[in-house]
């Protein structure tokens, strides 16, 4: 009964007209961003953060979460019609989706993507609804040592799964922690790393940092590329999959959903790895694995179900522990904090309307996406033809306005441009921004948990190894740090690296 009461609360929140509007805007923008190759959900959420300042926390998170899972839907359109993944999570869809289009089956391919995404997303939300409250109750027993060790593990796992070198990823994570320390010390009240610049007294804002690290480099990189986007010229008809398509793909959808949800929960897992693993598993289970890559419907259904299910899984640690599992979740965590809300075990107790409203919005958003995507495929095809020289200056202008609007400060514009230059150089020299932004968001909480733990133990560091959960997290983190010494772990990381570079 308590669960049904909570679900009713969530739908009473999300079905308010203003929240329906924000949900619709989020999934629409997310689909649009997914359709446009080269502009990902990370950059989009960073750019849209200032647009949520006047909204309620619930509306803001509903919209930004909608951008995330909406982008999973949109990325399949370019994978099938252009053979260019709109998102990294849609790379695996290219393998069979484009081949189906070449056979004149673009319609069924797009249709099974939409339905598979809907089923995967909906089941993952049910899993989120059932698992998150239980995990939140367990996590109320967490103290500062457990939180410190859990954050160490989260950063370490993300570094372990980084597509570049581990030393570079750790350098970025360290820089992120340092940037998070700028401002007034939360315990002593003294300024740190401000260099007597008044604008740094409140710290460096998340909005200009995120916009600079994700938005600006994305624009410059795509301007440099001569990306050819020839839409496969075929008449898109018969969007509804046939009965044979459903029979062939039913287990692919269910297996992909399960894989996506559970890999989405893991730090560093997310939609990209989920889609590749689901594709590989489906090929393993198939009676005709040699046909994969030639246009089989299972090769489209599995990764699309997995990448959408991963979005629901990724919300579990964010809402229950306050720990983001990937860079998009780190930006959502920042959005929570900007609105004065701390995700974690107490979110369910203190803000049940936000907790259940966000979950219910994912039900609604998946239904809106199913209704939007099939009828609007023709429009998305036209969007693919928008020239980048027209699109990117508008995005840059929006970045500048958004950075200034955060605090009505020109200093934030300089921060954004500085981070943009840094982000561009990082991409050129293959330093990833994801560990930096995750460590930047977690840094203040990491430091506070460390100092609170040492205050509790009177400076005795053994508190971190005497408490079982804390010790377990640190042991796993240590194993990952020593992974180059273990051939099996090193091989697994190299596989993840190769998949992310495809």
Sequence-distant (≥ 6) Cβ neighbours of residue 367 within 8 angstroms: 118
Sequence-distant (≥ 6) Cβ neighbours of residue 451 within 8 angstroms: 187
480-495: pLDDT as tens digits: 777 666 655 455 555 5
CA distance 83 to 104: 14
The pLDDT of residue 6 is 84
CA distance 380 to 391: 15
The pLDDT of residue 21 is 94
The pLDDT of residue 25 is 92
Write the DSSP assignment of 408-441 as a string of letters. Answer: T-HHHHHHHHHHHHHHHHHHHTT--SHHHHHHHH
CA distance 31 to 75: 7
CA distance 457 to 440: 26
Write the DSSP assignment of 18-31 as a string of letters. Answer: HHHHHHHHHHHHHH
CA 403 to chain centre: 21
CA distance 324 to 314: 8
For residue 172, give the nearest of 462, 468, 438, 485 by alpha carbon: 438
CA distance 472 to 478: 10
CA distance 426 to 469: 35
CA distance 24 to 361: 10
Q: What is the pLDDT along the chain (502 residues), one digit of tens a residue?
A: 577 888 888 889 999 999 999 999 999 988 888 777 666 787 788 878 888 888 888 999 999 999 888 887 777 777 777 666 656 667 788 888 888 887 878 788 888 888 888 898 889 888 888 888 887 777 767 788 988 888 888 777 767 666 567 788 888 888 988 988 888 887 778 888 888 888 888 888 877 888 788 778 877 777 776 555 555 555 555 667 888 888 888 899 999 999 888 888 776 556 777 888 888 888 888 888 888 888 888 888 898 898 888 888 888 888 887 777 777 888 888 888 888 888 877 788 888 888 899 889 988 998 888 887 777 776 766 766 667 677 777 777 877 877 787 677 888 889 888 988 998 898 888 888 878 887 888 788 888 889 989 998 888 899 999 888 889 889 988 887 776 666 554 555 555 444 444 4
| Cα distances (angstroms) measured from residue 153 to each of 34, 180, 314, 429 | 30, 18, 16, 26
pTM of the model: 0.76
The pLDDT of residue 77 is 77
The pLDDT of residue 437 is 81
CA distance 189 to 181: 12
CA atoms within 13 A on the CB side of 165: 7
CA distance 419 to 457: 38
The terminus-to-terminus CA distance of the chain in angstroms comes to 47
245-276: pLDDT as tens digits: 888 888 999 999 998 888 887 765 567 778 88
Sequence-distant (≥ 6) Cβ neighbours of residue 126 within 8 angstroms: none
H/E stretch holding 243 reads: helix 243-265
Q: How many CB atoms lie within 10 A of CB 155?
A: 26
Question: Could you tell me if 75 and 275 are in contact, meaning their C-beta atoms sit under 8 angstroms apart?
Answer: no
């Amino acid at each position: 009964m308590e669960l049904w009461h909570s679900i009713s609360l969530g739908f009473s929140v999300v079905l308010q007209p203003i929240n329906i509007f924000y949900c619709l805007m989020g999934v629409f923008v997310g689909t649009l961003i997914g359709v446009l190759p080269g502009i990902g959900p990370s950059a989009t959420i960073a750019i849209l953060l200032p647009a949520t300042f006047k909204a309620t926390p619930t509306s803001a998170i509903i919209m930004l979460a909608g951008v995330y899972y909406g982008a999973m839907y949109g990325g399949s359109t370019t994978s099938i019609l252009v053979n260019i993944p709109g998102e990294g999570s849609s790379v695996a869809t290219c393998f069979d989706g484009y081949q189906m289009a070449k056979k004149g089956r673009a319609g069924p391919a797009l249709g099974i993507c939409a339905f598979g995404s809907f089923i995967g997303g909906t089941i993952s939300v049910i899993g989120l609804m059932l698992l998150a409250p239980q995990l939140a109750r367990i996590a109320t027993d967490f103290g500062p040592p457990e939180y410190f060790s859990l954050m160490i593990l989260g950063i370490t796992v993300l570094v372990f799964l980084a597509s570049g070198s581990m030393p570079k990823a750790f350098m970025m994570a360290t820089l992120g922690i340092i940037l998070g320390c700028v401002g007034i010390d939360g315990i002593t009240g003294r300024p740190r790393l401000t260099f007597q610049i008044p604008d740094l007294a409140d710290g460096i804002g998340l909005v200009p940092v995120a916009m600079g690290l994700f938005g600006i480099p994305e624009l410059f990189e795509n301007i440099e590329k001569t990306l050819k986007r020839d839409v496969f010229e075929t008449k898109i008809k018969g969007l509804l999959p046939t009965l044979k398509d459903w029979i062939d793909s039913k287990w692919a959808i269910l297996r992909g959903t399960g894989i996506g949800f559970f890999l989405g929960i893991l730090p560093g897992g997310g939609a990209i790895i989920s889609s590749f693993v689901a594709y590989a598993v489906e090929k393993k289970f198939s009676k005709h694995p040699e046909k994969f890559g030639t246009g089989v419907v299972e090769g489209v259904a599995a990764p699309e179900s997995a990448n959408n299910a991963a979005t629901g899984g990724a919300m579990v640690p964010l809402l229950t522990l306050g720990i983001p599992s990937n860079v998009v979740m780190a930006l959502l965590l920042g959005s929570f904090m900007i609105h004065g809300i701390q995700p974690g075990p107490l979110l369910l107790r203190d803000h049940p309307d936000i907790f259940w409203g966000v979950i219910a919005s994912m039900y609604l958003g998946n239904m809106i996406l199913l209704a939007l995507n099939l009828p609007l495929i023709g429009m998305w095809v036209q969007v693919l033809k928008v020239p980048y020289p027209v699109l990117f200056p508008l995005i840059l202008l929006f970045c500048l306005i958004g950075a200034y609007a955060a605090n009505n400060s020109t200093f934030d514009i300089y921060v954004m441009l500085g981070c943009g230059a840094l982000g561009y150089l990082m991409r050129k020299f293959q330093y990833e921004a994801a560990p930096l932004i995750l460590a930047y968001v977690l840094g203040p909480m990491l430091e506070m948990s460390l100092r609170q733990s040492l205050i509790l133990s009177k400076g005795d560091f053994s508190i971190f190894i005497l408490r079982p959960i804390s010790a377990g997290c640190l042991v796993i983190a240590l194993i990952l740090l020593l992974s180059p010494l273990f051939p099996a772990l090193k091989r697994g990381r190299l596989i993840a690296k190769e998949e992310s570079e495809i």
